[in-house]
Amino acid sequence: MTAPHISQDTTFRALVTEQHEDGSFSSSVRLKKISGLPQHEILIRVSYSGLNYKDALSASGHKGITRRYPHTPGIDAAGIVIESGSSEFTAGQEVIVTGYDLGMNTDGGFAGYIRVPAPWVVRKPDNLSLKECMIIGTSGFTAASAVYEFINHGILPGDGKILVTGASGAVGSMAVAMLAKAGYKVVASSGKPEFADMLKESGATEIIGRDAIDDKSGKGLLPPRWVAALDTVGGNALSTVLRSTAERGIVANCGMIASARLDVPVFPFILRAVRLIGIASAETPMKRRLEIWDLIGQKLKPDNPGKLSRSIGLGEIPEELDLMLKGRQAGKVVVEIG
């Protein structure tokens, strides 16, 4: 089913990252045409997007994320279907797109319009507005994917504490809020003490510093401190977390800010039956994707998600992405497109 035709000459504002002759990269707001979008089934007028670390990498020229420039980043988008070449969607529907190739090698959500394959599109979940979907976005979906694993592993709110590392970041802060909403006791680890109040307001019952998860004793096991953990840091932090997890606990990892290497003995796995699971949200199968978004809408949505975020316009994105690369950003930043 196709909506009324929109002119291919229609222009819209978009953030465009360009590569210069000297090899440097820069981003600025430009006018683009509908005709310049990829030839996919669903045309969406974007209302909101959100900042993610992959966007910062794409905008800085990371060829492991984006191979061709000029390019429009933005791995998240929420908006209204304008044209549909699929029977699954009709004009006027509110939809979201997170992950897949959006904003990587397919022009992304930092723009007035996107055109994407129908299998990437999700109808806006009940109990969430389009803006709330982008406050959650890929970072919140990643956090919720970990909570989904905890629940399926049988971890109940009364079983013990759950640790979140990198808790002041976009994934971590959302995980703290979601876990607290679901009734869990949350230990938030952050190397940014200035954000302790924010984490407490989000629902953390205990705040610890980075040094508390940086054990260098060489011990195969450490006293159990939590029944589950979401780690966004990697490296020795993840090793410490695993060795400090209680019997039959679960640790989910989705990041490697500290290091991509993991040096940990097998003792947590063979003596405590601790389970380590990776969280890779971009290619989540649609059935599970819908289950996780339903879980967010029904049980994990923070009471006041707006308090976890702040809004910016397209022109402010480059500065914010630079702060993200320097590790000086906290919480979620939503981009208001139109």
Domain ranges, ordered by start, for the chain:
11-124+305-336, 138-278
Enter the pTM of the model.
0.91
The counts of H helices and E strands in the chain are 8, 15
Distance of CA 114 to the CA centre of its chain: 19
| pLDDT tens readout for residues 108-121 | 999 999 999 999 99
Which CATH number describes the domain made up of 138-278? 3.40.50.720
pLDDT of residue 4: 52
Mind listing the pLDDT tens digit for each residue in 202-248? 999 999 999 999 999 999 999 999 999 999 999 999 999 999 999 99
CATH class for domain 11-124+305-336? alpha beta
- Give the pLDDT band (50/70/90) at residue 3: very low
Half-sphere exposure of 156 (CA within 13 A, CB side): 2
Q: What is the pLDDT of residue 2?
A: 43
